[in-house]
Amino acid sequence: MALLTLFNRVYKSGQYPAAWRKGTIIPILKAGKDPAFMRSYRPIQLTSCLGKLFEKLVKVRMNYWLESEKLLNPKQARFRSLKSTEDQVTRITQIIVDGLNDNTGPQRRGKRTVMALIDFSRAFD
C-alpha cells in the first residue's frame, strides 16, 4: 500500500522525484565491432526501478483515457493493444486492391496508387 500512496502523491502533485530521473550510462560493445572506437558502443542507461514502474502505470492510465475518449486515429496500430502488424498489412492490401479496381471513375481517371515503405529496423545501431 505504501507504493500506491507514493505513486498517487507523485501523480497528483506532478513532482517527479529527482532520484527517479537520474541514471547510469553503461557502454555496451556492438557485436563484431572494434572496442578501440567509441562508435562501436551502444549506450544503455540504467534508471530507477520505482521510476520505471511509475512510468508504466502512467502509460496504462494514459492509454485507457486515450482509448475511452476515442482520441487516437482508428488507423493507428503501433503501441495499441489488440492492434497488430497484420491489421496494417490488411489495410494496405485493401488500399492497393481498391486502387487497382477503381480506376475508371471520374475522380480516379489519371491517378495512381502509390506506396512508400521505410525500413527503420537498424535505426538505433
pLDDT digits (tens, 9 = 90+) for 20-68: 999 999 999 999 999 999 999 999 999 999 999 999 999 999 999 999 9
Mean pLDDT for 2-12 is 94
> Are 69 and 22 a contacting pair, CB within 8 Å?
no
Residue 112, pLDDT > 70, answer yes
Strand partners, 29: 41
Give residues with Cβ within 8 angstroms of 6, minimum separation 6. Answer: 50
Phi and psi, residue 27, nearest 5°: -80, 130
In the structure grid, which three cell numbers stand for residue 77, read together? 496500430
| Chain position carrying cell 565491432 | 33
Burial 3-31 (b: 16+ CB within 10 A, else e): eeeeeeebeeeeeeeeebeeeeeeeeeee
Strand partners, 42: 28
pTM to 2 decimal places: 0.62
